[in-house]
Amino acid sequence: MKKISFLLILCIGLVNAQKLTPAELSIINQGDGSTALPIYQATDDHQHKILLAFSSEIDATDPHTAVLVKRMKESLLSTNGGVGIAAPQVGINRKVIWVQRFDKQGEPLEYFINPVIVWKSDIQNLGPEGDLSIPDFRDQFYRSKVIQLEYVDLKGQRYSEIVEGFTAVIFQHEIDHLFGILISDKKEREKNDAYKKVDAYQKSDLMRR
């Protein structure tokens, strides 16, 4: 009984946390679904604070969420070759991202609501990354070769999938944004870390949780 009560309280807390604020609604509703939202830049003090803030979950079935999702896609399409974007990059500290799926035929853009990486492979690759919010910064970063991802769609339907390769890198980059992590800061934190470059993974590695 105690467990059920705790879960009920937790669910109520999440519902309250998901309610969009008037400031968020103002940003989302400044245009329709076909209008791109401006992409925040780390060089602007106010926008930088938004980029460094933690994001909370969003109500996937709220009609305003659908507008945000559409406008974020337009923002990504307005860039010169951007492959992913997170809601903090358009001024909304909520868990919504877009990722170009290079692991699928046609390399489609797909949205993900409240995404969570529930598992990462120990095997990591080193590769270049840039950021739409830090256009003059680019460096090499280590990322897990394979991840397991859980998320919901605009209907609230839950999904789980395993992603690998460059697409997994994009997911890790965009989900970092949801925790206020920018690649410029990440590079500073990694200076004292020791990594071994590996360019392949073992199938058995996928089974470890």
Per the DSSP assignment, residues forming a β-bridge with 174 are none
Distance of alpha carbon 76 from the chain centroid: 13
Do residues 17 and 57 touch, judged by C-beta distance below 8 A?
Answer: yes
Do residues 109 and 99 touch, judged by C-beta distance below 8 A?
Answer: yes
**In a 3-state reduction of DSSP, which class is residue 2?**
helix
Instruction: Reply yes or no on whether 174 is catalytic.
Output: yes
Give helix 183-190 / helix 165-177 axis angle, nearest 10°: 100
Q: Which listed residue (129, 174, 188, 190) is catalytic?
A: 174
Query: Cα(28)–Cα(195) distance, rounded to whole angstroms?
Result: 41
Q: Which of 66, 78, 80, 79 is nearest to 33 (CA)?
A: 66
**In a 3-state reduction of DSSP, which class is residue 8?**
helix
Residues recognised as catalytic: 174
